[in-house]
Chains A and B, each alone.
Chain A
Amino acid sequence: DQQVKQNSPSLSVQEGRISILNCDYTNSMFDYFLWYKKYPAEGPTFLISISSIKDKNEDGRFTVFLNKSAKHLSLHIVPSQPGDSAVYFCAARVSGTYKYIFGTGTRLKVLA
């Protein structure tokens, strides 16, 4: 079964501190991982991605880490801002296919 899990449904962080969102996957047949952010009444928007051949990718305040041995993906946001408050989905692409499997999302609240 190709599963992507986000075990924390919600997370609260103080403004200026680090937000760490986690994602675990149960299948080694993923070759590409992505994070999406979703505001209410909007569709998800792409945030950052990482190939399975890398272990880190950085874009401004956002860094994604991939630990293949642990089948674990994390998104770090530093420093966190109130505008980062949203639902964050991790997604994984099944190797050799066009299927992207999404997690259930983590709702991040950044407190001012």
Chain B
Amino acid sequence: DSGVTQTPKHLITATGQRVTLRCSPRSGDLSVYWYQQSLDQGLQFLIQYYNGEERAKGNILERFSAQQFPDLHSELNLSSLELGDSALYFCASSPTLTGELFFGEGSRLTVL
């Protein structure tokens, strides 16, 4: 158990809908990362927050947004969902700005 909690574990929804994925980092970790893993793909970096502030951005679509709250949990919002958004979404936390990442078990999103 990495100490990073992601909910929900599985989510099935329809095209055009909006979903929110939630991540609770390890106790004391200030940095939260979001990654997307599509079928047979690597982990694509989406976005990173540190203590509530956005610090790095990857190939995150405009339909996606994220935030980190004062209690350090983070949410990834995916809107106007398309079939291609079906993927595993991983959250990771780190105690520092640049340190090894501790991953949650992922949220599997299926868009029908």
Complex contacts, A46 vs chain B, CB 8 Å: 100-102
- Give CA–CA (A43, B25) in the complex, Å: 13
Total A-B residue contacts, Cβ distance less than 8 Å: 58
Interface size on B, residues (CB 8 A): 27
Interface residue count on the A side (C-beta < 8 Å): 25
Contacting pair A42 B105 (CB below 8 A): yes
In this assembly, does B111 line the interface, its C-beta being within 8 Å of a C-beta of chain A?
no
Given A34-B100, A43-B106, 19 additional A-B pairs, CB 8 A: A36-B103, A41-B105, A43-B4, A43-B104, A44-B103, A46-B102, A49-B100, A89-B42, A89-B43, A91-B43, A93-B98, A97-B56, A98-B50, A98-B55, A98-B56, A100-B45, A102-B35, A102-B43, A105-B42
